[in-house]
Copies of this chain bind each other. A is one copy, B any other.
Amino acid sequence: MHDLPAPIRPQIADMPGSRIRQVSEGAFHRPGLVPLWFGESDRATPQFICDAASRAMREGHTFYTPNRGIPELRQTIATYLTGLGRRAIDVERVNVTASGVSAIMMIMEAIVDPGDNVVLVTPVWPNCSDAVEAMGGEARRVALVPTDAGWTLDLDRLFAAVDARTRGILVNTPGNPTGWMARGEDLRAILDFCRAKRIWLIADEVYERLVYDRAVSPSPLDVAGPDDPVISINSFSKAWCMTGWRLGWMIAPPALGDTLGKINEFNMSGATTFVQHGGIAAIREGEPFVAEIVAQYGRARDMVIQRLRSLPRVRMPMPEAAFYAFFQVDGIHDSLALARRIVNEAGVGLAPGIAFGPEGEGWLRLCFAASLPKLGDALDRLAKQLA
């Protein structure tokens, strides 16, 4: 960092930064571009959620809130999660956060000392490992195994990666970029292991509603009690199309609540007040919308898989959940270069697999949370490009 007038930490200086943005920057305003690189729907937030936030603003909900969130939202989240058919969630376990990623960073601040490690199931979206490394920790990667049927997790390898300096296991399920969904019995085994080792099981479950053969994905919350070492992270971004709102939550043991509030104080001092009111409306009135987008994404998934798999150079495990097609292209060893070539030559914006770790090299991620015509157009172009 020779241009800087004073030093910054090597950990931070050495981070590569988003490889997705390295593809998108400069190409964003390309005419005719079909951007499928980011993890967000092309649909704006439903109007009833916007209306609730606007109303809250007008009514003067513009002051600081408690660090753990306004009581009404915390209760609404507790009721919602309990209604998903898992074990009941008490409001004392609910911590509102200004996004899922903010929750992950705050957890790493809580548990990771320099030299500690957190074991991650990979490939995984890069912010998880960046947050560990920002705290001076090691992000220890255990790769899922791709098969034509889907992705599989080797529990023996996962547990073998844990050592005396491991402070937690982070499982992003359903997973970004893979669409992998942890099985209930695997989550139970991981929970038992974490209990015995006294390490945290951190579950990033922001895609839990974007599932195609059931109502909600398996979760550690199916089996964990309130005092188990489980922190479940969630977000309004994906199920309610609220990426730009920056609102999420954590379910954590009640004994951790004061600590999480304290950490939130010097990170964010709470989530945006009227955004929290929008979150209440999203949960209370949003089920028809969630059903509608899941149906849409399900149709998109079917089409995208069928068409990608028909390409001779493409190999793709079935994404069981979430809204990504993560596929391998035969003969490719530089996914960043390929993604750049595709955006420049075909006008389709994809995320390079290397963005999700070394085990993603040679792969590409396509977000299918877009209209069928738009996806069809992108697939036509991709088919030519990858021919």
Contacts and interface: CB of A to CB of B under 8 A. Distances in A.
B256 A8 contact: yes
Interface string A38-51: 10100011010010
Contact of A111 (B7, B98, B266): B7
Nearest to A129: B266
A55 to B, nearest CB: 9
Contacts of A229: 4-6
Contacts of A114: 113-114, 136
Contacts of A270: 244, 246
A269 interface: yes
Given A111-B8, A195-B5, A267-B102, A57 B38 contact: no
A336 interface: no
A53 to B, nearest CB: 7
B267 A246 contact: no
Contacts of A58: 47, 50, 54
Contacts of A12: 109-110, 259, 262-263
A60 interface: yes
Interface in A33-80: 38, 40, 44-45, 47, 50, 53-54, 57-58, 60-65
Contact of A99 (B8, B195, B268): B268
B167 A259 contact: no
A109 B134 contact: yes
B110 A8 contact: yes
Contact of A198 (B7, B44, B244): B7
A15 interface: yes
A236 to B, nearest CB: 11
Given A8-B111, A57-B50, A259-B8, A65 B102 contact: no
A268 B65 CA distance: 18
A253 B4 contact: yes
As for how many copies of this chain the complex holds, the number is 2
Q: How large is the interface on A (under 10, 10 to 19, 20 to 34, 35 or more residues)?
A: 35 or more
Contacts of A253: 3-5
Contact of A272 (B7, B200, B263, B272): B272
Contacts of A265: 17-18, 101, 127, 130
Contacts of A109: 9, 12, 134
A258 B110 contact: no
Contacts of A244: 61-65, 270, 272-274
A134 to B, nearest CB: 5
A105 interface: yes
Contacts of A126: 266
B53 A57 contact: yes
Nearest to A201: B6
Contacts of A18: 262, 265
Interface in A180-231: 194-195, 198-200, 227-229
